[in-house]
Amino acid sequence: MNDAIRVRVPAKVNLRLAVGPLRPDGYHHLFTVFHAVGLHDEVTITQAEPGAGVTVRILGEGADSLPSGADNIAVRAAKLAAQRAGRSADVEIAITKAIPVAGGMAGGSADAAAVLVGCAALWPGTLSAGDLHALAADLGSDVAFLIEGGTMIGTGRGEILTPVLAQGEFHWVIAVSDMGLPTPQVYAELDRLRADLDVAEPAADDALLRALRIGDARALGRALSNDLQAAAVSLRPELARLLEAGADLGALGGIVSGSGPTCVFLARDREHALDIAVGLTTTGLVRAVRHAAGPVDGARVIA
* Residue 178 burial (C-beta neighbours within 10 Å; 0-12, 13-18, 19+): exposed
If DSSP codes are grouped into helix, strand and coil, which group holds residue 61? coil
Handedness of CA 78, 79, 84, 90 (dihedral sign): positive
* Cα–Cα separations (whole angstroms), residue 194 to 22, 184, 221, 270: 11, 15, 26, 38
Please answer whether residues 104 and 12 qualify as being in contact, where contact means their C-beta atoms are separated by less than 8 angstroms.
no
Handedness of CA 203, 260, 248, 152 (dihedral sign): negative
Active-site residue among 3, 12, 64, 227?
A: 12
Q: What share of the chain is helix, strand, coil (3-state, %, to 5)?
A: 35, 30, 35
CA distance 232 to 173: 19
Please say if 196 is a catalytic residue.
no
Question: Active site residue: 41, 111, 142, 227, which one?
Answer: 142
How many other C-beta atoms are found inside a 10 Å radius of the C-beta of residue 197?
8
Query: Could you give the angle at the alpha carbon of 22 between the alpha carbons of 112 and 115, nearest 5°?
Result: 5
Question: Minimal CA–CA distance to 170: which of 248, 81, 273?
Answer: 273
Q: Where are the alpha helices (DSSP H) in the chain?
A: 73-85, 107-122, 129-139, 143-148, 183-193, 206-214, 217-223, 229-235, 238-248, 270-281
12 is catalytic: yes
Dihedral sign, Cα of residue 7, residue 33, residue 209, residue 11 = negative
Residues with catalytic function? 12, 142
